């Protein structure tokens, strides 16, 4: 009785192996597209707001110095010294700011872009402006030694469209991933051997009588 389940599993594996490759790829692509589209519909959209601050040199410094300090302030903006002040104006914990706020600088312009991402567009605006405000105040405290001050160049505005991928895009990504995984599985599966095919009938051996008749005829 224990041989019946084992035999059924072998038959099922043999049937799967005999399926045409295009059907496996089509199934994987369809399943991946459905899962990707469902993920895009279930996941809430995210919004990104960006504010800009610019480094301005004083009479005792040079534009190159302002450019260098802009690079430094871009790295400092996401540190606890700045986010600790920004959480008061943003109304969110420091941990939320650490996960939601990113900065970017330019090698050609002394400007720092502060971007915040959230599922609520208003909150994204508040976080971006709060970090920019805290960064400029932090720069003002060290203006005497750096001879560079930060000025808010542009406040963050409320985004009108989400920056997250749409369900159509996630469905396309899921379909591509499903087809790719199935293709790799087809390449990695073992090739057919003689054990997978139908059993070959054994060669027949002539009986003694037939052998004797053959000798007589000679």
pLDDT digits 0-9 by tens, 7-26: 555 555 455 556 566 676 77
137 contacts 85 by C-beta, under 8 angstroms = yes
pLDDT the model gives residue 185: 72
Average pLDDT for the chain = 78
Q: Which helix (H) or strand (E) holds 196?
A: none
102-147 pLDDT per residue, tens: 999 988 889 999 999 998 999 999 999 999 999 999 888 888 888 8
Given a cut of 60, is residue 44 above it in pLDDT?
yes
Model pLDDT, residue 129: 95
pLDDT category at 99 given cuts 50, 70, 90 is very high
Measured on CA atoms in the order 207, 209, 210, 211, is the torsion positive or negative?
positive
> Alpha helix (H) ranges present in 91-157?
94-100, 121-141, 143-146
């Amino acid at each position: 009785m224990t041989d019946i389940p084992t035999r059924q599993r072998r038959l099922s594996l043999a049937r799967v192996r005999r399926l045409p490759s295009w059907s496996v790829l089509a199934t994987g692509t369809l399943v991946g597209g459905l899962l990707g589209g469902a993920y895009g519909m279930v996941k809430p959209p995210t919004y990104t707001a960006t504010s800009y601050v610019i480094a301005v040199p004083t009479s005792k410094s040079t534009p190159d110095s302002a450019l260098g300090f802009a690079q430094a302030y871009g790295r400092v903006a996401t540190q606890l010294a700045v986010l600790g002040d920004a959480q008061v104006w943003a109304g969110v914990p420091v941990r939320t700011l650490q996960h939601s706020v990113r900065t970017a600088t330019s090698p050609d312009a002394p400007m720092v872009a502060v971007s915040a991402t959230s599922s609520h567009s208003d909150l994204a605006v508040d976080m971006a402006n709060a970090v920019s405000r805290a960064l400029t105040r932090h720069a003002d405290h060290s203006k005497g030694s750096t001879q560079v001050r930060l000025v808010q160049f542009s406040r963050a505005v409320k985004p009108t469209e989400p920056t997250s991928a749409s369900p159509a895009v996630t469905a396309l990504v899921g379909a591509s991933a499903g087809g790719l995984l199935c293709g790799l599985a087809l390449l990695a599966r073992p090739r057919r051997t003689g054990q997978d095919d139908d059993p070959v009938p054994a060669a027949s051996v002539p009986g003694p009588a037939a052998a004797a008749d053959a000798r007589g005829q000679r």
